[in-house]
Amino acid sequence: MARIKELTGGLGAHSVIEAVGTQESFMQAVGANRGGGHLGYVGVNHDVQIPGMELFFAGIHTLGGPAPCAATCPT
């Protein structure tokens, strides 16, 4: 997050994609995003707590959801 903030003059990235699906990676994505930016996520598991108030007050737009392997992966 610090390196991204440094590269963007302290603002953060316009758009961030989170595809790991852990609490730590989701919070890193939030921290790397700029206010008013966009955060896409895929594969977030049930244990991840999405910080709604933090996203709301930063104006970060989110879009994403689960990536269920059961529907697409061979058994």
| pLDDT at residue 27, as a whole number | 94
3-state secondary structure of 7: helix
Chain mean position to CA 12:
13
**pTM here?**
0.81
Q: Going from the N-terminus, what domains does the chain have, and what CATH number goes with each?
A: 2-71 (3.40.50.720)
Q: Are the CB atoms for 44 and 20 separated by under 8 Å?
A: no
- For 17-66, write each residue's pLDDT tens digit: 998 888 999 999 999 999 999 999 987 777 888 899 999 999 999 998 77
**Spatial distance between the Cα atoms of 73 and 36, rounded to a whole number of angstroms:** 36
Is the pLDDT at 71 greater than 80? The verdict is no
Of 17, 12, 51, residue with least CA distance to 35: 12
